[in-house]
Chain A
Amino acid sequence: MSDHHHKETFVTKYIFSTDHKMISKQYLVTGIFMGIIGVFMSMLFRLQIAWPERSFSIIEAFLGHHQDGGVMSPDIYLALVTIHGTIMVFFVLTAGLSGTFSNLLIPLQIGARDMASGFLNMVSYWLFFLSSLLMVISLFIEAGPASAGWTIYPPLSALPQAIPGSGLGMTLWLVSMAIFIASSLLGALNYIVTVLNLRTVGMKMTRLPLTIWAFFITAIIGVVSFPVLLSAALLLIFDRSFGTSFYLSDIFIQGEVLHYQGGSPVLFEHLFWFLGHPEVYIVLLPALGITSEIISTNSRKPIFGYRAMIGSIIAIAFLSTIVWGHHMFVSGMNPFLGSVFTFTTLLIAIPSAVKAFNYITTLWKGNLQMNPAMLFSIGLVSTFISGGLTGLVLGDSALDINVHDTYFVVAHFHLVMGVSAIYGMFAGVYHWFPKMYGKMMNKTLGYWHFWLTAVAAYGVFFPMHFIGLAGLPRRYYSNTAFPLFDDVADVNIVITLFAILGGSAQIIFLANFFISIYKGKKAEQNPWRSNTLEWTTPVEHIHGNWPGEIPAVQRWAYDYSKPGYEEDFVCQTTPLKEGEEES
């Protein structure tokens, strides 16, 4: 079905494209755009945290009537942290990361002409686009966007009397997220079907690159957990608009008793975190998959413990669906349930440790090629360990009591899923940019981008643990109401300065990315001397990926530096020599 014959118009090629490579680029660019908004918001609220009473012209410029003389209002502060979280978790690190690389790599690395359903894939992107649009529109409404935290716990998210953002802003948030979930389900189903059915000859499941394993398992977790968030959101819409009482009961607000009776906010927390925790791995696993591929390629070594890596992905995915209660140790949930969730949660540390050790062992005695993608991958392993370890504190119900909802949590999850996943995304962009655009990104700018980001990320999140341990709650507009916290003010200034450094460093990436698309050096077919199938396709994109037959796969993806071969890589399409064992 190499369809060179039908002519493509601008619209079918660039807008309503069903080609997975184009859809992947659409996801990436939309994700980057949302990322700019999300990161920029964090700069604004970091200014407020560090200098609570000071006036900033940048706040005056961007926050309209939500500020007074360059000082933001408490409501918009909460809105900013809410939308920052929502955008980064869902729009950048779920759609932007998974959408981009699952779409690009699944057909290319398994040897398929396209996704199982190109049409659904297109619909999936456009639903994502629509939901992004709604989320952005919600920023401009009079009362401000949703501001009950990205976890939108009712009753705060259900009652406009409680916070202005819970009016139209929250409605738009819920509609946007409902569409987002539909988009992500269509995407995930497509990924699963494609991986199961469209692998080329010889591409056994045990020969799949770890990227594909990660995307495949991620899609399964998404299909299992996202519908639950949809139901949670629907019930919340019912409570807000139709007077039901799923989550609400016994509420007295602004001098009047509301009619709600018999609902429970704890139910919402269960439903939310049933997605919310797997979501962490929906964000992280693709980044780990990308890292596996890049570390192996650039170490010129097979990934260490391929089967253990698959096993740990599956184990993490399975466990991720039975640990959600660790977000609720102090929610009023039965303490016995807390014990169970402590047990399942700490179990996750085992497959995570296996992954970390396997990455480190892959580097051992390698011949490390320090391309920008490799730097970000090594950076990911570092932040994954740093952030993962503090999970031992938060996953332990007893220890969680006193650090729950403090900055300790903020530091933990930003390192382990925020920074790690975004490093994975950057690594993926640097590595597969030649495949996406046929051009190369500039490496020197890549180096600057990495080192500034790496220093800033630790500069922000390492000290942040300490202010959490000092008992400082998150989502405080200002700490000036408590003399007890006067001594953390300096730390907050340090953190904000690093945050500004880190945020500004992303301009280097944006410059490199957008200008390389047009002016970058033309890419060779296999610039990183890699084994996987995507590098056997021509640099110029064609519908159907391969001009002739799809190549058959003869071996696994990680024969780097294999003895008996002159080159230090052996493409998956190279037949085994006589007597050669497949690893």
Chain B
Amino acid sequence: MTALLYILLAIVIAVAIWQVASILKLKSVIATEKDNNIQGILFAVFGVFFYGLMIFSFVKYSALLLPDAASLEGERYDTLYMVTMVLILVVQAITQFLLFYFAFKYRGVKGTKALFYADSHKLELIWTVIPAVVLAGMVLYGLSVWIDVMDSSDAENPLIVEVYAKQFQWEARYAGKDNELGLANVRNIKGINTMGVDMSDKNALDDIPVRELHLPKGRKVIFKFRSQDVLHSAYMPHFRAQMNCVPGMVTQFAFTPSMTTEEMRLNEKTIAKVDNINEIRAEKGEDPYEFDYLLLCNKICGASHYNMQMKIVVEEEAQFNSWLNSQKTMAQVVQ
């Protein structure tokens, strides 16, 4: 019933708008010189709004952005990002200016005629070749970063970790002493063996299942992703890392953590961001928040998609090793 009322309200508003328009004798339909003038000026005003919004957003919202990258690969990512962003903003500033300025400057005046100017091969050549050259540079630079990030074949003594996704939680498994993950398949899932590890595979026995991800600083980590049910995406924004988890296949991503959790907490940008968040939380009467790295699900996966997360702790290698040694292996867990 209330739904009907809302619809009626919208119709009433629509009719009211038209009635007001009719009362004001707005039967005129084609732009006059006066309209051209007003609307042209409005485009100039809109241009000011546009640049204002842009500057305002950059000043006000830059504090929201992620802090410095916490991985070596992420640092290259951030540089590429900065270069691209500067390029985008320069082009944006120039083209939008020309657009709004021309809309203002050349607003129609009665009795004048536009310039008949249909073609200029020179101009068109310029704005074909310049973007082409700039883009060629961007492609080469982008691909060098891409290859650097995606190719982990030459990593020395990488840490192998399996990240396992299911509705709506994450699990993980370290490859253990042999640094080789045992085989696994959902058909082996039974009781406490929640990741379906194949216990008849001898590589599996020393694997270490965990519910919280710990990573050593300075050592390359190769993640192997699996999913138990639907698509998920393992998103680790602080490390500039993301890969989908696909049922029926193993996907891979690798990075080298470059800042421990402690170091990140002391990072200037992190402190500023956390302070800001805690001010907001204090207003709402919530407990203060302490920074932690996170793994989030970033592929729609069902009702609780919005709350599928796992904490990541980055620590010095020695600390990491002692933590890992204190965890139970698959053999210990299952038996």
- Could you tell me which A residues sit within 8 Å of B by CB distance? 57-58, 60-62, 73-75, 78, 148-149, 153-156, 159, 162-163, 248-253, 257, 262-266, 299-308, 330-332, 335, 338-339, 342-343, 346-347, 349-350, 353-354, 356-361, 363-371, 374-375, 378, 381-382, 385-386, 389-390, 392-393, 396-399, 401-402, 404-406, 440-445, 447, 451, 454-455, 458-459, 462-463, 465-467, 469-471, 473, 475-479, 481-484, 486-491, 507-508, 510-512, 514-515, 519-521, 527-528, 558, 560-563, 568, 583
Contacts and interface: CB of A to CB of B under 8 A. Distances in A.
Contacts of A404: 233, 242, 298
B2 interface: yes
B300 interface: yes
**Considering the complex of A and B, which 7 residue pairs feature the smallest CB-CB distances, nearest first?**
A249-B248, A471-B237, A370-B39, A61-B2, A332-B251, A511-B14, A440-B29
Contacts of B241: 401-402
Nearest to B5: A61
Contact of A78 (B65, B131, B233, B300): B300
Contacts of B95: 356-357, 360, 385
Interface stretch (B83-91, B174-182, B313-321): B83-91
Contact of B113 (A252, A528, A558, A568): A568
A323 to B, nearest CB: 13
B53 A332 contact: no
Contacts of B233: 330, 404-405
B2 to A, nearest CB: 4
B106 A363 contact: yes
Contact of A378 (B28, B103, B298): B103
B135 A382 contact: no
Contact of A445 (B21, B96, B146, B281): B21
Contacts of B91: 385, 389
B138 interface: yes
A368 B143 contact: no
Interface stretch (B200-208, B211-219, B258-266, B289-297): B289-297
Given A78-B305, A385-B92, A451-B42, 7 more contacts: A250-B248, A301-B114, A364-B106, A365-B117, A490-B280, A512-B21, A562-B116
A543 to B, nearest CB: 27
A447 to B, nearest CB: 7
B268 interface: no
Contact of A390 (B88, B99, B100): B88
A442 B5 CA distance: 28
B113 to A, nearest CB: 5
Given A58-B6, A385-B99, A466-B61, A370 B273 contact: no
Contact of A304 (B119, B189, B235): B119
Given A305-B119, A405-B299, A443-B35, A251 B229 contact: yes
Given A401-B77, A483-B281, A512-B18, A392 B138 contact: yes
Contacts of B107: 368, 370
Contacts of B249: 249, 264, 266, 332
Contact of B65 (A459, A469, A486): A469
B192 interface: no
Interface string B228-246: 1111010101101111101
A162 B229 contact: yes
Greatest chain B CB density within 10 A among A342, A393, A402, A514 is at A402
Interface string B1-32: 11101100010011101100110101111110
B147 A399 contact: no
A159 B167 CA distance: 13
Contacts of B54: 462
A264 B248 contact: yes
A343 B31 CA distance: 45
A558 B118 contact: yes
Contacts of A262: 248
B99 A381 contact: yes
Contacts of B109: 367
